[in-house]
Each structure stands twice: as structure tokens, then as C-alpha cells.
Chain A
């Protein structure tokens, strides 16, 4: 009697297990199929989204090469604030270096990191800055996002060496200039949210310093890779 029961229990367990395995296999097959058939479209739409972003900071008149193909890797750490390696996109006009697009991270936003996309012309002036991702308070700190205000356009055409009206800046004056107005600098902010713009201004300033220090590597590599 007990042998029978054990046998039927065993059978029941085996069947249950087999059914579970069957379902798992069908599910896995379905997922694998979907993954492989959506892989190419996903890569295409990601590249397209990336290109749209790059064109936001970099006017089409500044390049005639394929930005997505002409990149150089930047190691983690350093002035850009990136914690993993990122890509710098190089823009060239008839083979001559015209500008470079860098990703930078401002680690000291009001609620965490602010990711920035920064385009710098060959002469060291900013072509454009955009916020890629942020978690700043809606309605207060989110004016750094182009969707909410034009504040981020203040950076257009600014550079390390000169003020916007062309006055030359010495080393110490540079550090003073690259601050929000509340701290005695040049950049506007909105009342109630100074931490956010302070973080962004600092990150853009550091990116320009990075560009100044590594300009040759950034563009020289462009020649070597060809």
C-alpha cells in the first residue's frame, strides 16, 4: 500500500516538474525570439536618439562627418566626473577638427547626479550644453532642462579664456567668472534653487578645463584612427 502511494507521489512530482520545465522552455524561447528580432531596430532607434541629442548641442554647420563613427574613449575619473568610461564624439569639417562632444557628470546636484552633454568648438568656446538626465525637484531645480527654460543656453559661446563680451580672463578671474551670480560669478540662477545651477556651472567649467588640458589628445587621436 505505502509503496503504491510513494510511487504515485513520485509520478505526480515528476509530472509537475516536467510541466514547469516545459513552461520555462517555452518562455525562454519566446524571449530569445523577441530579443533577436528587436535587436536591430532597438540599436537603430538608440543611435537615432543619440544623433538627435548630438545635433541639439552641435549645429549641423559644424560637422560633415558621421559623429557616431568618429569617437574616442575617455577613461573613468578625472575632471569630467564620469564613473565609467564614456565616448567623446568628434566633429570635423572637411577632415579638419571642428568640435568635440563630451559627456560630463555633475555629482553634486540637489538630488544626485546631473548628466550633461557638452559640445566644445576647436577654439575652446562652447557650442552648446544640454542636460541628459537629472532628478532635480520638479518646478524648482528643473529649469536646467531645455524642456522647462532656456537657462542652459547661457553657456552658448562662453569659453575659459574670454568673457562673453570678449574681455580676456586671467587664471584667477576665470575661477571667479565661472560661478553663479550669487557666489559672485557670471551665471544667472533662479531664486529658490541655487544648488542645481551651481553644480551645472561647476561641471561645465571643469569640462572646459579638461578640454584645455587634453585638447591635443582628443583631436590627435582623430588623425591616428583614420
Chain B
């Protein structure tokens, strides 16, 4: 059982793709202008990762070393295209919003990284869980970053939720700061870099506190994680 616990912990915190592994920065930075966009793409990525890990793990013994990467990429690309077409057919408005980012999931290195590092070496069930939890970990970062940028940039939360869940859900949109004129920096790409930097800093700070609860008065200086 502890294997599964480790997988969950790695995905959500210890090896979080968004703030620790720093893989898949393209979607992290590009789509997080609102919570809804961030979470939608995060969940899609989680779905792709669970599916691709689940597809690669059972066939890992039949794939010769030399053609490992092309086969993995082929599987990931096929799965993403299936999801892309499926969304276009059954969730058209959301597909229009996330449209250009869905094919980009193929190039998101976190997907290939987990296939190569985990699914190619482990049994099927843990592999699916690993892909899914890594995706959820990424989704959490995308949600937080999206929330920060949306509140600071537009003064709202959950705007555009009606595109994902239908017009009835428009009631969920929260205006945090009424009559707000917006803060452009947060919406544009620099806001994404600054926001992500803050999130990484907070995570590292929490880790340092956990590691040395008694040495709080003199926090260690050389605490930067090595990559």
C-alpha cells in the first residue's frame, strides 16, 4: 500500500511537476489567465497522463530499446488527438477556448517524462495512478496560479465557468473586487512568471520549515534545490 501512498505524495507535493520538477511550463504559463482555463487544461493533462502511462506500462516488455521513444510519442500523440477530437465533438465551447493548447499536451515534457521514468519500469496500476496524480499535482498549481492572476488581473474568480459547465453555472462567477479596472501585468505572460516564482518560493519555504522546525531563528541559507 505504501507504494501508492508514495505515488500520491510525489505527484501532489514532493515531485510536483509544476513547482518542483518544473516540467510542462508552456501550458503552466500560457493558459493560467483564469482558474477555469488552468483547471480545464490541468485535468485534461491528467487524463492524458493516466491514459498514456496506462497504455505504455502493459506493453513495456515488447518495445525494443531502440524504438522506445518513437513508440511512446506515437502513443501519447494518438491519445491526445483522440481527446482533442472527442472534446471538439462533445464540449465544443470549451474546445474553442483551450483549442490550441490541447495538441500542445503532446509536447508537454511532463507526459513523456512520466512515461519514460515510471510507466516503462512499473506495473500498470501504479503507472496509471502515477500519471493521474502527477496531472492532479500540475492541475493544483495551474488552479492556484490561475486564481492569483485572475484576482489580481481582472478582479474576478471562475469567469468563463459557463463555457465548461453550461450557462447555468454562471452563478458561480465571483467578483472579488467590484468595479476593478484590471492590472494588465498579471494577465500578460510576465504575471505568469512572477506568480509561478511566488508559488515555488512558498513551497520551498514550507519545505525548509518542515525540515528544520527548531532552527527557525536561523534559516539555512543554501536551501535552493538542485536540478
Interface residues, chain A, CB within 8 Å of chain B?
12, 15-16, 19-20, 23-24, 27, 30-31, 34-35, 38, 41-42, 45-46, 48-49, 137-140
Contact = CB atoms under 8 A, between A and B. Distances in A.
In terms of DSSP, what is the predominant structure of the interface of chain B? helix
B184 A139 contact: yes
A50 to B, nearest CB: 11
Per CB-CB distance, the 6 closest pairs between chain A and chain B, nearest first, are A41-B89, A45-B92, A38-B89, A139-B182, A27-B78, A38-B85
Nearest to B67: A20
A12 B63 CA distance: 12
Contact of B88 (A15, A31, A42): A42
B124 interface: no
A20 B184 contact: no
B92 A19 contact: no
B224 to A, nearest CB: 34
19 contacts: A16-B67, A19-B67, A19-B71, A20-B70, A23-B71, A23-B75, A24-B74, A30-B82, A31-B78, A38-B86, A38-B89, A42-B89, A45-B90, A48-B92, A137-B184, A139-B154, A139-B184, A139-B187, A140-B184
Nearest to B187: A138
A34 B86 contact: yes
Contacts of B71: 19-20, 23
Contacts of B66: 16
Contact of B64 (A19, A27, A35, A48): A19
A15 B64 contact: yes
A35 B81 CA distance: 9
Interface string B79-108: 001100110111011001000000000000
Interface string B186-213: 0110000000000000000000000000
B159 to A, nearest CB: 9
A45 B74 CA distance: 28
Contacts of A27: 74-75, 77-78
A62 B155 CA distance: 38
A205 B154 CA distance: 32
A35 B85 contact: yes
A49 B96 contact: yes
Contacts of B82: 30-31, 34
A24 B86 CA distance: 21
A207 B86 CA distance: 37
A34 B81 CA distance: 9
> Which of B75, B81, B85, B188 has the most C-beta atoms of chain A within 10 angstroms of its own C-beta?
B85
A45 B88 contact: yes
A197 B66 CA distance: 57
Nearest to B33: A138
A111 to B, nearest CB: 12
